[in-house]
Amino acid sequence: MSRLQERFAELKSAKRTALVCFITAGDPSVATTLGAMHAMVEAGADVIELGMPFSDPMADGPAIQKASERALAGGASLHGVLSAVESFRETDNATPVVLMGYLNPIEAMGAEKFSNAAFNAGVDGVIAVDLPPDEGGTELSAMRAAGLDPIFLIAPNSTAERIKQLCSSATGFVYLVSIKGVTGTRTADVAEAKQQLDEIRACTQLPVGVGFGIRDGAAAGAMAQIADAVIVGTVLVEQFALHTDTPQAIPAAVAKVVRDLRRGIDSVQ
């Protein structure tokens, strides 16, 4: 059983909703990333999503775009992302880690080389925003062969046929994007998300996480009442921008946000 399967099984047994926390790796350094990862887990994160820095993050809003820019300016690379995961695994072998980003860096490394290196570093799943299941045969085969879970995004306007296709190809969990648009630009609508969640759950037994548009404990708690996982990124990434001159303060800043999100989720469980 994979770490993702174990974690979601534990949470289901405890009747708790997962909190999935996203940050951009290498912003502003790998050392800061590592400290933030541990701080988020201690504050209540159940799964860590690490953004792979990329120069053209098309699905991301200004905050995460700027985080990628800061990371790349500081010399971040895909090898550095994997190094952060490897270091994280030295003291935490339980918390699932999912990489999220775009296909270009994966292609540059080579799908098979990337997949094997990611698994060996301790990565559990991959969300490649621009890698649909009907076009990613080589890449997805390499990920599955290495032991990684390919995780797909379902958009608010995905058709019933598309939802079935995405669910049949996914492992780990399914990621429902709750808003039309990029990250951090709108607030998630729980009623709209529930309608799609019902449709998705008719197609898969996998856990379903909801992300985009969740910024605080109240919003996280509202979404936790209908989702298997609440996925939060922009409000965490913003803490890195607020502390560019004092990176040593970043782990405590993101932990404070995670604790608020955790309290919001736990208050409705």
The residues assigned a catalytic role are 49, 60
Are 241 and 63 a contacting pair, CB within 8 Å? yes
| Amino acid sitting at position 262 | R
Contact 100, 49 (CB under 8 A): yes
Handedness of CA 129, 106, 34, 48 (dihedral sign): positive
Supply the DSSP string of 1-61, one letter for each residue. Answer: --HHHHHHHHHHHTT--EEEEEEETTSS-HHHHHHHHHHHHHHT-SEEEEE---S--TT--
Contact 188, 210 (CB under 8 A): yes
At 158, list the tokens. Answer: 């995905």
Q: Under a CB-based contact definition with an 8 Å cutoff, are residues 167 and 160 in contact?
A: no
Give dist(CA 141, CA 33) in Å, integer. 29
Rg value, the chain, Cα: 17
d(CA 51, CA 184): 15
CA dist 1 and 138 (Å) reads: 24
